[in-house]
Structure 1
């Protein structure tokens, strides 16, 4: 049996680490998802301001059902593109928790902003608050994923 030198072992480990980091960089949520959530948020805000509770409730349930069908596949961070599927052990549950937790927090921000806009006399408080939420989703979503990647890189560091 051939012995592996310390230098060869270090080179092999460095190659493995470069490969791991390359895969970590593939952790992603598709860009269309952020646009889907932002657009849905704005549409629900507009419908809320129209004042028809049946339309608003139906649209909310439909959007929720559509999101529930899409989210399990895309918010895991494992399927950012069609090229590569990141293993669950590499992506971990961080992406799902971060994305869904962020959306729950953003719901609170939206309600608070709508109350503030209504108190200020805005004619369309739900629309204004939903546009704010949409901007946060579009700008903050990719930033959130970048932070998850940074955490994943550090988690594997020696």
Structure 2
């Protein structure tokens, strides 16, 4: 029979709480690094400029290249097991919903960009596409990791 005194019980409780905090921190770090979001934001602005100032073929080509490069980069950076702090996790520890949440953020960005650009254009703004892309790029660059973290929480991913 093992007898624990109160001090030992408190130490064990503190150790378990510390382990829980570290596990939560690692879980929160799963995703894409901040520089990925800034690269995506820069590409977003480039697409806005292409869409507003370049011929249609250049805008379409740029959009296809941006999508392909973004998918390739995200796929290499995020295979479901890497954390932003360089931690490597077991695949079973990471939700399969996470890539879909990243895609959802990008699709929402496209929808907001188009909606804002149409609204600005209807209001008579010059270069509405550029203005809309800069606004959405700022949200993606500054808030990408936080948006992903919030969506992960909501989706239990």
Q: TM-score range by the shorter chain?
A: 0.7 to 0.9
User: 2:2 and 2:24 mapped to 1: Cα distance?
Assistant: 24
- Counterpart position of 2:65: 62
Alignment root-mean-square deviation, CA: 3.0
Normalized against structure 2, the TM-score is what?
A: 0.77
| CA displacement at 1:68 relative to structure 2 | 1.6
Q: Specify the SS of the correspondent of 2:125.
A: coil
Judging changes above 3 Å, is the alpha-carbon distance between structure 1 residues 30 and 123 closer, same or farther for their aligned structure 2 residues? same
Structure 2: gaps spanning 5 or more residues: none
- Superposed CA deviations along residues 60-95 of structure 1, whole A, max 9, x for unmatched, are 111111112112233556434463223333231343
- Does the CA contact (< 8 Å) of 2:26 and 2:83 recur in 1? no
| CA displacement at 1:130 relative to structure 2 | 0.4
Does structure 1 residue 125 correspond to structure 2 residue 128? Answer: yes
- Does the CA contact (< 8 Å) of 1:78 and 1:91 recur in 2? yes
Runs of 4+ in 1 over 4 A off after TM superposition: 3-8, 148-152
User: 1:132 and 1:106 mapped to 2: Cα distance?
Assistant: 10
Normalized against structure 1, the TM-score is what?
A: 0.77
